[in-house]
Amino acid sequence: MSRFLLIIYGFLLIFLSFNAISQTDFRAHEDSLRRLSLKLPVLDDDEQRRETNRQFREYFEQVLAMDGSFMYNFDSLTTISMLRSPDARFRIISWYVPLRGDNFEYFGFFQTAGNINGGGKLIPLADKGIREDEPRFESLDHEQWYGAYYSDMIHHRHNQKDLYTLLAWRGDNPLTRKRIIEPLTLSDDGMPVFGKQVFQYGENQNYRVIFEYSAKVSMIIRFDDFIFDGSRNPERIIVFDRIAPTHSFLSGHYQFYVPEMNIFDAFRFVNGNWVFTADIDIRNPRRRPPPRPVPPNQ
């Protein structure tokens, strides 16, 4: 074998050995993180859960700051949502801590891929809890995050600008649950901006859409492929249950809101906006994407 080939072969062995060591390290860290995450729901005391979550969050942040972590999937962390953007520019990580009284606290990270020279960002997301202000009409950054557990993401590019739309779940209290449609954009310096006025819906001022309903029921909301009349090709829409109070005099009391039987509405992406579309027949032929994990008691 020539000297040149020996040198190349040596570099290849070094590269493969380094890669194997790196992957082994991530697997070991992942196993430790998994054991911490599985302790959270079974601890009896809220303070024990908060302390265990603090250990998990600080350890996870250290691991995510390591070179190569962006490409590692952490598949065994089944209670953690990890959504990679369809264009592979970033991923958003979210989870919640269940507390006594059917309350929840939310945590997350925003991680960018960086470039060939590294330089990816790792940004903690700080939930400020239940807001006195109306979150439907606010644009928020990572320090004023409206905490939620993200279940799916879609990407659109319109007029040379990227829009990422997230579907999310949030529980605030024992009586109600929320489903959220959260637009996400990136600032010029690559920081996440949550919320954008892209909804033609209601008063048409929404930065995000929030459905609140009884904690005793589940609500369907998902991305789906749908064929509209006059079109041969399916387009991706957001389809969801129509929810309403069980009686008209209970309007505004969301613990009494439930899905109406077999009535579905949707948002359709048209010219850079999500346009409300009523009465979608979900029996319409479509190619359904693989299901995403969602939290229990959705």
- What pLDDT is attached to residue 268? 95
Report the distance separating Cα 179 and Cα 254, nearest Å: 13
- What pLDDT is attached to residue 289? 47
- What pLDDT is attached to residue 234? 87
Q: Say if CB 84 and CB 93 are below 8 A apart.
A: no
Among 189, 186, 194, 192, smallest CA distance to 162 is for 186
Tell me the mean pLDDT per 10 residues along the chain, length 298: 41 39 73 94 92 96 93 95 96 95 94 72 86 80 95 96 97 94 95 96 89 96 88 90 96 96 94 94 58 51
Report the distance separating Cα 189 and Cα 172, nearest Å: 32
Q: Of how many residues is the chain composed?
A: 298
Token pair belonging to 87: 């264009």
- What does the buried/exposed string (b/e) look like for 114-146 if buried means 16 or more CB atoms within 10 Å of the residue's CB? beeeeebbbbebebeeeeeeebbeeebebeebb
What one-character-per-residue DSSP string does 206-267 give?
-SSEEEEEETTS---EEEEEE--TT-SS-EEEEEEEEEEESSGGGTT-GGGEEEEEEEEEEE
Alpha carbon 229 to chain centroid, angstroms: 31
Pick left, alpha or beta for residue 4 (phi over 0 → left; psi -120 to 50 → alpha; otherwise beta): alpha
Report the distance separating Cα 147 and Cα 168, nearest Å: 9
The pTM assigned to this predicted structure is: 0.85
- What pLDDT is attached to residue 5? 42
Domain locations along the chain: 1-79
Cross-strand partners of 194:
140, 184
Cross-strand partners of 153:
166
Report the distance separating Cα 183 and Cα 178, nearest Å: 16
